[in-house]
Amino acid sequence: MLDRAPGDVTSKDDTTRRVRFRGAGFVPASSRFGGWIALALVIAIWQAAGSAGLVNALFLPTPSAIARALYELAISGALWQHLSASLLRIGVGWILGTAAGVTVGFAIGLSRLARSVGITFISALFPIPKIALLPLLILWLGIGEEPKIATIALGVFFSTAISVYSGVDAVPRNLIRMAQSFNVPFATIVRKVIWPGALPAILAGFRITASVALLLVVSAEMIGAQYGIGAFVLQAGNLMQTDQLLAGVVILSVFGLAVGKVIGWLETRLLHWR
Amino acid sequence: MDLIASHITHRFGDLAVLDDVSFTVGAGEVVAIVGPSGCGKSTLLSILGGLLQPTSGAPELRGAPPADSLNPLTFVFQDFALLPWATVEENVEFPLLHTQLSAAQRRALVDDALRRTGLTDFRKTYPKQLSGGMRQRVGISRALAVKPAILLMDEPLSALDSQTRELLMEDFVRLLADGGMGAVYVTHNLEEAARLADRIVVLSRRPGRIREVVTVPMTRAARGEAAAREKLLALQNQIWSLIRNEAIDAEREVQHA
């Protein structure tokens, strides 16, 4: 009797008892305000510790000092100067990298020749930290905006190409066969079957490439830029202005959150069928 | 228009799947293909519908398709193959999008196909909101929209529960009743084959060869009558006796694969 505990076999007890519920847990669900409450709590403790002198303000300024630094940056106009420089680099680099990545990703996903050639190159070049190429790109493109934008575009390109061809590969083959069985032309299959089928993976890739772009813009600006959030953070660090340094970090965090929200909105709009 | 399987042989690498299969599906005729698991039924259907290139032999068409047919050989898939991002009516309209039809003509075809499958009230819903049976109705509706001459049905009911299967079976009987549309119906369910088909092609174990072609000895219309049940049951038993031993061998082979 495999379904009984040994003790049950000889039991003569005929009283009824409720079966113990064993199905709880393993269904994580986040509450709507839980994260914000936790964040507020951490900031409050941080502020209290700083105000009480438990933490040296040079190493970790209080949240209010960071907010003050942000405010001063904003009214002096420096915030917009640095932010606009970074946004321009990220925007142009991301668009160029994404356009190339989507094109190459689709080519690899749809063409045997492109796959044979493309995957070899992508496998060889993807692991290289793109920031290591910045000096070479400066040599090739000069010391202006071009090498920074090219670094971001390169970083975005590889991740995008990989997510796009993985997305194309993941489109159920039965849908493609169905379309072929109705003599639907190749271009229509790409537009009406493969593109929407690959879109979840492509949008997931956008989340990653937005982070990659942010990482690369800060790195590139730290190496060679006068303006930009990365340059600002580096300057603040060199001058031991940790409140300004952390103000720059907060701006980066807010930017990352905003991009995440935009992609989340796109997913809600474009993937409502899921 | 007739569909002819002409000496079709197929191999997947070293694996021989089909061996010299030949038969003809006449206009308006329903031919069921049955056989043990892995005998190449679905492969044969893919070859007949032009989705798979046979190693040798060929599927052929004889005669002109009906003038209004937009896709003479039309599949109904086991897994429905619906676009999950498209509504019911968009799914049904999908095979019409690349045709020369005007929007009004497409709309008329979609409306007619939805009406014939009882989906008019569900036109704006997405596949994930539908039950399995309703999803297959969408697949059937999509097939009807292109006015096929021959439906190629690959185990269209096997993913459904028995009650839904029974209801859709009644729909198939009704849709195929007027003889205007033929079908090749691949199934492992002998009851479905006996109820729907005019002839039943029995394939042997892999590599699939035609073992026997059984003609169902009554009209499709007569099969709904009580008196027909006994005869159909006897027919099923006859076919089962043909494939039983091979089905057991095939099952063991699958289990040990």
Q: Which residue segment(s) compose the domain that B170 sits in? A: 27-53+150-257
Q: Give domain status of residue B154, yes or no.
A: yes
CA-CA-CA-CA torsion for B195, B198, B204, B205, nearest 10 degrees? -40
Whether residues B94 and A192 touch (CB distance < 8 A) is answered with yes
Are B176 and B186 found together in one domain? yes
Q: Are strands B15-25 and B2-12 parallel, antiparallel or unpaired?
A: antiparallel
- The answer to whether A70 touches A247, Cβ cutoff 8 Å, is yes
Name the minimum distance, in Å, from the CA of A175 to any CA of chain B: 5
Question: Scanning the structure block, which residue is given the tokens 């409502």?
Answer: A272
- Domain end call among B119, B148, B177: B148
Q: Do B109 and B131 have their domain in common?
A: yes
Within this chain, do residues B100 and B113 fall inside the same structural domain, yes or no? yes
Domain contains B69: no
Please indicate, yes or no, whether residues B160 and B255 belong to a single structural domain of this protein. yes
Whether residues B77 and A185 touch (CB distance < 8 A) is answered with no
**Of B148, B165, B184, the domain-final residue:** B148
Q: Is residue B11 part of a domain?
A: no
Within 8 A by CB and 6+ apart from A223, the residues are A131, A134
Q: How far is CA B96 from the centre of its chain?
A: 21
Same-domain check for residues B135 and B184: no
Which residue out of B83, B91, B109 would a mutagenesis test of the A interface target, given it has the greatest number of A Cβ atoms within 10 Å?
B83
Q: Are residues B256 and B172 in the same domain?
A: yes
Q: Are residues B125 and B210 in the same domain?
A: no
Least CB–CB distance from B51: residue in A172, A177, A274 = A177
Give the pLDDT confidence of B191-239 residue by residue, as tens digits: 999 989 999 999 998 889 999 999 998 888 888 788 888 888 988 899 8
Are B97 and A192 within 8 A, CB to CB?
Answer: yes
Tell me: the pLDDT tens digits for A128-149? 888 888 888 888 998 888 999 9
- In CATH, what number is assigned to the domain containing residue B46? 3.40.50.300
Identify whether B249 is part of a domain: yes
Residues B184 and B241 in one domain: yes
- For A183, the closest of B71, B84, B86 (CB atoms) is B71
Mean of pLDDT over chain B: 90
Cβ count within 10 A of residue B227: 8
Last residue of a domain, one of B148, B178, B194: B148
Question: In this structure, are B128 and B156 located in the same domain?
Answer: no
Query: Which one of B73, B81, B128 has the shortest CB-CB distance to A174?
Result: B81
In a domain, B75, yes or no: no
Whether B109 has a pLDDT exceeding 90, the answer reads yes
B101 to chain A, any CB pair closer than 8 A? The answer is: no
Query: Do B120 and B40 belong together in one domain?
Result: no
Q: What is the pLDDT of residues B168-180, one digit of tens each?
A: 888 888 888 877 8
Task: Assess whether B233 and B184 both reside in one domain.
Answer: yes
Distance from the Cα of B44 to chain A's closest Cα (Å) equals 15
Smallest CA–CA distance, residue A273 to chain B, in Å, is 5
Domains of chain A by start residue, with CATH: 85-232 (1.10.3720.10)
**Could you say which of A175, A183, A197 has the minimum Cβ distance to residue B81?**
A175
In angstroms, the separation between the Cα of residue B210 and the nearest Cα of chain A is 26
- The DSSP code sequence of chain A is -TTS-HHHHT-------PPPP---SS-----TTHHHHHHHHHHHHHHHHHHTTSS-TTTS--HHHHHHHHHHHHHHTHHHHHHHHHHHHHHHHHHHHHHHHHHHHHHHHH-HHHHHHHHHHHHHHTTS-GGGGHHHHHHHH-SSSHHHHHHHHHHHHHHHHHHHHHHHHHS-HHHHHHHHHTT--HHHHIIIIIHHHHHHHHHHHHHHHHHHHHHHHHHHHHHH-SSSHHHHHHHHHHTT-HHHHHHHHHHHHHHHHHHHHHHHHHHHHH-TT-
- Please, which pLDDT band fits residue B74 given cuts at 50, 70 and 90? very high
pLDDT per 10-residue tile (average), chain A, 274 residues:
53 82 84 89 95 89 94 92 93 96 95 91 89 88 90 94 95 95 94 95 93 92 88 92 93 91 91 86
- Chain A's closest residue to B126, CA to CA, is A273
pLDDT of A1? 46
| Domains contained in chain B, number | 2
Contacts of residue A234, defined as CB under 8 A and 6 or more positions apart, other chains included, come to A221, A222
Q: Are residues B32 and B158 in the same domain?
A: yes
Chain A residue set in contact with B, beta carbons under 8 Å: 172, 174-175, 177-185, 188, 192-193, 196-197, 271, 273-274
Flag whether B9 is in a domain: no
- Is B71 a member of any domain? no
B85 contacts A184? CB cut-off 8 A: no
